[in-house]
Structure 1
Amino acid sequence: MVAIRTYHPRRGRLSGRHRDALDRLLPVYGVSETSPVRVDGATLFGRDVPLVLEIGSGMGEATVEMAAADPDRGYLAAEIHTPGVANLLAVAEERGVTNLRVAPLDALELLRERIPPDSLAAVHIFFPDPWPKARHHKRRLIQPAHVSLVASRLAPGGVLHCATDWPEYASWMLETLSASALVNCFDGYAPRPEHRPWTKFELRGIEAARPVFDLVFRKVAGNNESR
């Protein structure tokens, strides 16, 4: 059975700066298809730090900003768009951020095959593709099976934080997450957390009068979903 992709494979030109970042930095700060086999804070950073997984980091500026403001935790950005991976690496180097790694891999495969159960401090899913057409809803990242997988990889007390500027997808997210084993930290949607940086994409949406919805759900102790 062929897995249904939750993302558009995209191509983009690489600048000289981005090619240099990939050549020099990806071998040092990247997670390849085979190495390391086990992905956790200790293997990525050489010390047992809480690990935050961001699924779909885009061009990476917001991810670098969050990692820089949170040096006691390690960040792993899963992003399949090569220019985004390159830009994240370049910006992280420019800012001197060392608690950040990048995985140019399918995030769901990474979760299934490489990340141990009960090991993640948080998972961030900010502005995933809404796949607005009804026939494409099966491609949405927020699906019961995917949420169950994420929940199984969160440590007790770990948080799943999602954000979208697509109202219909926000309702879908709220319904799907509320039906999962995770617990809503708020009554419905969450207020916008100060620690989530503004992105260019988000600001463009606000200029176009699109509302932004945050959802924050937590895993409670003793709650283990599919492994």
Structure 2
Amino acid sequence: MPLPAGTSTVESLVLDQAATSQNGISDLVLACLSLKSLKLNFDQTIIRVSNKELTRIPLHHATTLEELDMRFDNNAMLGFDDDVFGDGMIFLADCYRHLTKLKTLGMGLEHLFEQDAWYSMMGKDIVTSRLPNSLEYLKLYCARIPAKYAENRQVMESGLPGIVALLEGTGPQGRLNKLKVIDAKMALFDDPGLEDISRIKTLARDRGVTFIFRDFNAPPDSDIEMS
């Protein structure tokens, strides 16, 4: 039986290693009257996930959410329904910009790139307009890169120019002038062999942004707990 919508005063909701259905998650989120913090981590479970339903989850609290963390485990067997919405609904990657009070966001790295490629950023342009102006802390996930870096080094390298473009929009004169931290330890290695890594570090320093890479000597293990 669904929970009554808008009846709970809970402002913070953490669903770590969530094995429930998307409908169960939706019921919990919709039951909250004014949600300010939502952390959602799918575990290694076979779930059929609809972009449409996932998008409705944060948008239901678009005017109150200050923190949103949506992480999809590297081993989670998730099948995304690439349905074309006929009711004006948008995809998950395009919902973040509508969260007008959002300060902290944890999102898939691929969501920053056009056409929302879950498997490759190669040949894709970054879409920084997906991030709201209010953002202060951005956490990026791309678990398959830390898990098997040797196999995915080229994928990471292809996405670095997009990260440079993201940083160019920060700083006092940038649209994302409130963004002060980009935590990419779950997505990008500090690889000394890649030229764009040094460029990112320099640009971040010049724009007053703390950029956190994953240590290049860290073990190939993507199992970092949500914080």
TM-score by length of 1: 0.37
TM-score by length of 2: 0.37
